[in-house]
C-alpha cells in the first residue's frame, strides 16, 4: 500500500468467541487487515460492539485469534513461541480505557513502573529510580507521584501513569482502547495532547480506538472504520471525514449532533438508525445492508470487496465509486443579500 515499511501489519485476522447459542460463534473480528507505520497515530472507529476491543486485544495476545497473521517489523508472531514470543510481543503495549484495570491498588506508582523495568532487565536501583522519574516526566507528572498509590490520583493522572508504565518497556506500538473515554471532559484534551507529544518525541505508533469520531479526527492521520467485525472504510483522516464513501461512515458522521441548527436542518444523510445486528448471525453479503439507505438486492448476495477510490482510500461497498463520483461538494456559506435587494 505504501513504500514506508509498516511496524505492525495485521492480515485477515479472525477472532471468534463461543456463543451462548449452542454451536454458534460470535464473529467479533471477521477477516480484518490493517497496518501501522512507525510513529503513526491511526484511528479505529465504529459503534460499540463492532469488534474494536477484540481486534486490539487479539493484537496484543489477550485474545487468541482463530486465523490470520500479526506481523511486527515483518516478523510473523504466530511463528514464534514461548519466551521469544513474549519478548517480541512486548513491543506492542495495550492502554486500557479504565486505568484501574492495569494498576494494582497495593503498589505505589513507582513500584508499578519499576516492575515493568525489571521485565526488560533493569535491576539497578539507581537506574530504576532515574528511569521512573524520566517516564513520569514524559507523561507530564511530577516525581512525587512515584510515592503515591493509584487511589490517591485523579482519573487523568492514573491514565498518565498507565501510559508511563506501558512506555517503560520501550514499545514500538501502543494499542489505546478508548483511553480517554472514562475521563472528565475537561481533561480529555490534555491526555489527547499527551499522545500527540509521545508520537512526536518517541516515535511510538499508536492504534487509537474510539467511538468518539471527533477525538480521532483531532489525533489520527489515518482512520479505519469498523462495522460488525469488518473494516468497511479506510483512508486519511481527510478522506474519511471530508469525503466519506461508505454509507456506514456517512451515517456515523451524520450521527454526531451538530451544535449548528442550520446543519441539523439540512442533513442529507440520515443518521444511523436501529441497532447493530448480532455478530453471531450477521446479515449475508454486506453486513451493513440492513441499515443502509442505499441497499439493493445485490448487497445481500456477496460480500463487497474494498473498492479503492483514491490513494489508500478504500470502501467496501459496491456503490463506492458512484458515491465518490457524485459526492456533494460542500457549498460556501450563503451570502446575505444586501438590504436593498431583499425587499
Comparison of 53 and 199: residue with beta carbon closer to Mg ion: 53
- Nearer to ligand ADP (CB atom), residue 30 or residue 40: 30
- Least separation, in Å, of the C-beta of 315 and ligand ADP? 19
Q: Give residues 277-316 in contact with ligand ADP (rule: CB under 6 A).
A: 279
Applying CB under 6 A, among 7, 13, 26, 36 the residue interacting with ligand ADP is: 26
Choose from ligand ADP, Mg ion, none: what does 28 bind? Cβ within 5-8 Å by kind.
ligand ADP
Per-residue interface string for the shown chain with ligand ADP, residues 34-73, x marking contact by CB under 6 A: ------------x-xxxxxxx-------------------
Which stretch of DSSP H or E encloses residue 55? Answer: helix 52-60
Closest to ligand ADP by CB, 177 or 239: 177
Q: Least Å distance between CB 266 and ligand ADP?
A: 31
Residue from 11, 14, 17, 138 in contact with ligand ADP (CB under 6 A): 17
Shortest Å distance, C-beta 80 to ligand ADP: 24
Nearer to ligand ADP, 96 or 319 (CB): 96
Q: In terms of CB distance, is 132 or 180 closer to ligand ADP?
A: 180
Give the number of C-alpha atoms closer than 13 A to the C-alpha of residue 167, restricted to the C-beta side: 25
Handedness of CA 264, 265, 268, 272 (dihedral sign): positive
Q: What is the DSSP letter of 255?
A: T
Q: What, of Mg ion, ligand ADP, none, does residue 77 touch, CB below 5 to 8 Å by kind?
A: none
| HEC secondary structure over 160-185 | HHHHHHHHHCCCCEEEEECCCCCCCH
Using the structure block, give the residue that is written with the C-alpha cell 479503492: 308
| Residues 153, 133: Cα–Cα separation, whole Å | 17
Contact status: 128 vs ligand ADP (CB under 6 A): no
Catalog residues that contact Mg ion under the rule CB under 5 A: 53
Q: Are 14 and 29 in contact (CB under 8 A)?
A: yes
49 makes contact, choosing from Mg ion, ligand ADP, none, with CB < 5 to 8 Å by partner type, with ligand ADP
Give the per-residue SS3 of 267-316.
CCCCCCCCCCCCCCCCCCCCCCHHHCCCCCHHHHCCCCCCEEEECCEEEC
User: 164: closest CA among 194, 136, 197, 206?
Assistant: 136
> Are the C-beta atoms of residues 10 and 205 closer than 8 Å to each other?
no
Question: Least distance in Å: CB of 42 to ligand ADP?
Answer: 16
Q: In what order do the strands lie in the sheet with 307-310?
A: 92-95, 173-177, 205-210, 41-45, 222-227, 230-236, 313-315, 307-310
**At its nearest, how many Å lie between ligand ADP and the CB of residue 301?**
25
Contact positions vs ligand ADP (CB under 6 A): 17, 26, 28, 46, 48-54, 279
Amino acid at each position: 500500500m505504501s513504500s514506508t515499511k509498516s511496524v505492525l501489519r495485521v492480515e485477515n485476522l479472525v477472532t471468534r468467541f463461543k456463543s451462548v447459542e449452542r454451536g454458534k460463534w460470535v464473529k467479533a473480528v471477521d477477516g480484518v487487515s490493517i497496518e501501522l507505520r512507525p510513529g503513526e497515530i491511526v484511528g479505529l472507529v465504529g459503534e460499540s460492539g463492532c469488534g474494536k476491543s477484540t481486534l486490539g486485544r487479539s493484537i496484543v495476545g489477550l485474545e487468541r485469534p482463530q486465523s490470520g497473521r500479526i506481523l511486527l517489523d515483518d516478523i510473523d508472531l504466530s511463528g514464534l513461541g514461548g519466551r521469544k514470543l513474549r519478548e517480541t510481543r512486548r513491543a506492542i503495549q495495550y492502554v486500557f480505557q479504565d486505568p484501574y484495570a492495569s494498576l494494582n491498588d497495593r503498589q505505589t506508582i513507582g513500584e508499578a513502573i519499576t516492575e515493568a523495568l525489571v521485565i526488560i532487565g533493569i535491576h539497578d536501583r539507581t537506574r530504576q529510580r532515574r528511569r521512573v522519574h524520566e517516564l513520569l516526566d514524559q507523561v507530564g507528572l511530577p516525581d512525587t507521584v512515584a510515592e503515591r498509590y493509584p487511589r490517591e490520583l485523579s482519573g487523568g493522572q492514573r491514565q498518565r501513569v498507565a501510559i508511563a508504565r506501558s512506555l517503560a518497556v520501550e514499545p514500538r506500538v501502543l494499542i489505546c482502547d478508548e483511553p480517554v473515554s472514562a475521563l472528565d471532559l475537561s481533561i480529555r484534551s490534555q491526555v489527547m495532547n499527551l499522545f500527540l507529544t509521545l508520537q512526536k518525541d518517541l516515535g511510538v505508533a499508536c492504534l487509537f480506538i474510539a467511538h468518539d469520531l471527533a477525538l480521532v479526527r483531532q489525533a489520527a492521520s489515518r482512520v479505519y472504520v469498523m462495522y460488525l467485525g469488518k473494516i468497511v472504510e479506510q483512508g486519511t483522516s481527510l478522506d474519511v471525514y471530508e469525503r466519506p464513501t461508505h454509507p456506514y461512515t456517512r451515517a456515523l458522521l451524520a450521527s454526531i449532533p451538530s451544535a449548528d441548527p442550520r446543519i441539523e436542518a439540512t442533513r442529507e444523510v440520515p443518521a444511523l438508525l436501529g441497532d447493530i445486528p448480532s455478530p453471531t448471525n450477521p446479515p449475508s453479503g454486506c453486513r451493513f445492508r440492513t441499515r443502509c439507505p442505499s441497499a439493493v438486492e445485490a448487497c445481500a448476495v456477496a460480500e463487497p470487496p474494498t473498492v479503492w477510490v483514491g490513494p489508500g482510500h478504500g470502501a467496501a461497498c459496491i456503490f463506492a465509486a458512484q458515491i465518490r463520483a457524485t459526492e456533494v461538494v460542500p457549498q460556501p456559506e450563503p451570502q446575505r443579500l444586501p438590504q436593498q435587494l431583499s425587499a
